[in-house]
Amino acid sequence: MMNIFRTITGALELCFGIGLLMLGVSHAWAQAPGEAKVPEQAPACRGNPKVLNPPFAPGEKLTYKLVWCKIRVGYLTVEVKPMVVENGKPAWHFSMRIKTNKFADNIYKVRQYADSVTALDLSKSYRYRTQSRQGKSKRIRELEYHWDKLKVHYVKNGKDRGMRDLKPNCVDPLAMFYVLRTKELKDKKEIIVRVADAKTCIDSKARIRQRKRLKICGKKRRTVLIEPELKGLRGVFKRSKNAKLQLWITEDESRVPVKVASKVVVGKFYAILIKHDKPPKKAAAAE
């Protein structure tokens, strides 16, 4: 049963940000629960930047229920925090939290946290930090991107793991979730974004399959179905002969991921949007 919950939580992480696929279930996020440290806040930079005019702003929070084989096992939230200062410049601060519910806690307790600090134009990440507790296991991973050297510095559980090679214009797996939301989906058949973690830097690909109306949060919404490539993925997807991962994003200005579904060897799992806290009007309108 513990292996099943490791698979579920690891795979559900992958659902948010197609770039997370590259991590594989074997690289689940980790360390003791708690808030990840980020640079100081930038009070003057709380609105949408002019650079991209993205469909999100500080204060937005998306909450999903996590379901495995029709059993609700927990919740996932992704949130745009107040802007921060990185190298003297304003930057995005994104966060993600995963928490199993009381039922799942009795079998395999999971608390996971991830924080990303990313350039204002979403062209590159500066820092990426993940923490988690899975059962009795506690771990931490920290990445610092050095763009002048095209290297990423990797620290795991406080131990220096050295520098790894980078390609230009990479973002971390969590920032990938937001980069995806800036993409125009109407006339495209394929989306490609470069994403890097501590071990890999790849061009992550996903294909647009079809358009469909889904009932989410009591309302029917037009959505676009996206299917990421699973080729070369490790973990449960590699062991599943006909594994599939699907992501539905609203076909409107907000471009909100409303549902994730996958079928693997241990069964079907879903992440379904149950609440969308929109940013304050002042923040959303600011420039």
Question: What distance in Å separates the CA atoms of residue 228 and residue 19, rounded to the nearest whole number?
Answer: 9
Instruction: For residue 125, give its domain range.
Output: 2-285
Q: Find, among 2, 70, 171, the residue nearest to 10 by Cα.
A: 2
* pLDDT digit string, tens, across residues 122-165: 999 999 999 988 777 888 999 999 999 999 999 999 999 999 88
Average pLDDT, rounded, for the chain: 75
pLDDT grade for 254, boundaries at 50, 70 and 90: confident
Report the pLDDT value the prediction gives residue 148, as an integer from 0 to 100.
93
| 137 in Cβ contact with 155 (< 8 Å) | no
| 13 in Cβ contact with 112 (< 8 Å) | yes
pLDDT grade for 106, boundaries at 50, 70 and 90: confident
Report the pLDDT value the prediction gives residue 41, as an integer from 0 to 100.
45
Q: Which residue has the higher pLDDT, 259 or 206?
A: 259
Average pLDDT in the 93-101 region? Answer: 92
Report the pLDDT value the prediction gives residue 8, as an integer from 0 to 100.
52
Cα 276 to Cα 72, 215, 258, 273, distances in angstroms: 19, 14, 10, 8
| 234 in Cβ contact with 243 (< 8 Å) | no
Question: What distance in Å separates the CA atoms of residue 229 and residue 118, rounded to the nearest whole number?
Answer: 25
The domain total for the chain is: 1
* pLDDT digit string, tens, across residues 178-233: 988 888 776 667 777 777 776 677 777 778 878 888 888 778 888 988 887 765 44
Report the pLDDT value the prediction gives residue 137, as an integer from 0 to 100.
80
Question: What distance in Å separates the CA atoms of residue 211 and residue 222, rounded to the nearest whole number?
Answer: 7
pLDDT grade for 287, boundaries at 50, 70 and 90: very low
Report the pLDDT value the prediction gives residue 4, as an integer from 0 to 100.
53
* pLDDT digit string, tens, across residues 52-92: 588 999 999 999 998 887 889 889 999 999 999 998 999 99
21, 23, 26, 28 alpha-carbon torsion, rounded to 10°: -100
Question: What distance in Å separates the CA atoms of residue 152 and residue 252, rounded to the nearest whole number?
Answer: 35
